[in-house]
Amino acid sequence: MNASVPPADFEGPGPAVRRQLAAFLRTLRDNGFSIGLAEASDAARVLTSGLAERPETLRMALRALFCARRSDLTRFDEIFKAFWLGRGVRQAVRVAGQPPRAPTLQRLFEASRGESGPTGMPDHTTRTESNADAFADGRGRKGGASAHQTLATKDLRNIADRVELEAAHALAERLARRMRARLTRRAHLRRSGRRLDLRRTIHRNISHGGDLIDLAWRRRKTKPLRLVILLDASGSMELYTSFFLRFVHGVASAFRHSEIFVFHTRLVHVSEAMRDRNVMRAVERLSLLVQGIGSGTRIGESLATFNRWHARRVLHSRSCVMIMSDGYDTGDPAVLEAAMRGLRRRCRRIVWLNPLIGWEGYVPTARGIQAALPYVDLFAPAHNLASLAALEPYLARI
């Protein structure tokens, strides 16, 4: 269907339908769909045709129009049901004294034609948090243009809505992949050499009678940044573990130079499991590897195990060790301090991400974190996705 040049007799949808369609298109773009002007025009024609009389036929028509990849199909159905039918979206409270009322397609079309339907709906919709328009409009619970920003700054422990959970998980994985792409491009820009290799230059120019025509340059061999992530999966981290696992899965699947470890009372190497492209299968493999997950925390003993059995293999001069933990250690602080001291000698940077830093009034007074802090290069919050995104400039400078 080519809608770049609409027919002369084409009458677009009414104002209410246009607003709703614009909000729906913003929602799809925020979720990674590639939608241009031609697709938007085609969608407007679909909404004024007989296909829009039934939700199922409208869903199939818009699905064929907007889904260009196989991965788009499932996501589109979920977004369509949440947006147009209000399914899968948490029921909201009243706004401005009006009861929450979903703007059905029929009432929208009646409003766009200026007709007074059974409910007497005006030319605009009352915005409530359960309103489908609020799902994508900037003034609703999930802002259209600022939907990602709202989720990025929201504390992960306060995200309970299923739709928000899925969106936050997707954002965490995209953030990890974007971080990997930025760091990789930075490494490629360092290929040019600046030091003259005199021995090879002389050897190359023997055939020229000793005149230095063909120059040979030396440059330091560039080692890519290696991320080594140690994730605390104890009970005190339960509210954040699922999001950190999505972020770590994005790092492991997109960043070749990465190693992933999970610890609670013991340390487990899980890099191979987390590199599985299927997130659910990766989590299942992880659950088989990590027995006793959610129990107490022995950070010092886990780091000592890492130093003894893994550090020599996975660390080099451009390694950044990222510890994601709240710092609550049930072991001896002296063991943690010794392990941190040994780790400090083996890597370039140690970054400690603590979700509790984002809590109001938090002070790192626990004995374990006090023992570890002298050896930490960056002690940063990790309570929301924005705090994880703030790591990118720091890692790019290593």
Residues 9-24: tens digit of each pLDDT: 445 567 777 888 888 8
CA distance 83 to 102: 10
318-326 average pLDDT score: 93
Q: Work out the mean pLDDT of the chain and round it to a whole number.
A: 75
- Name residue 260's beta-bridge partners: 229
CB atoms within 10 A of CB 305: 18
Q: What structural domains and CATH numbers belong to the chain?
A: 15-88+101-145 (no CATH), 193-221 (no CATH), 226-396 (3.40.50.410)
Top-confidence residue, 55 or 269: 269
DSSP string, 252-315: HHH-SSEEEEEESSSEEE-HHHHT-SSHHHHHHHHHHH-TTTTS---HHHHHHHHHHHTHHHH-
On the question of pLDDT at 362 being above 60, the answer is yes
Give the pairing type, strands 378-381 and 195-196. Answer: unpaired
Read off the pTM. 0.57
- Which residues have C-beta within 8 Å of that of residue 104, sequence separation ≥ 6? none
Query: CB of 380 within 8 A of CB of 166?
Result: no
Top-confidence residue, 213 or 190: 213
Number of H helices and E strands in the chain, helices first, is 17, 8
Residue 95's pLDDT is 29
Q: With DSSP H G I counted as helix, E B as strand and the rest as coil, what are the percentages for the chain, rounded to 5? A: 50, 10, 40
DSSP string, 363-379: ---SHHHHHHGGG-SEE
For 15, 40, 366, the CA distances from 112, given in Å and listed in that order, are: 6, 18, 61
Residues 85-139: tens digit of each pLDDT: 766 543 333 323 333 344 445 555 454 444 433 333 333 333 333 333 333 333 4
372 pLDDT band, cuts 50/70/90, is very high
Query: CB of 228 within 8 A of CB of 261?
Result: yes
- Token readout for 81 is 């049901």
Q: What percent of the chain has pLDDT over 70?
A: 73
Residue 126's pLDDT is 32
- Token readout for 84 is 């147009």
What SS3 state is found at 78?
helix
- Token readout for 19 is 């607003």
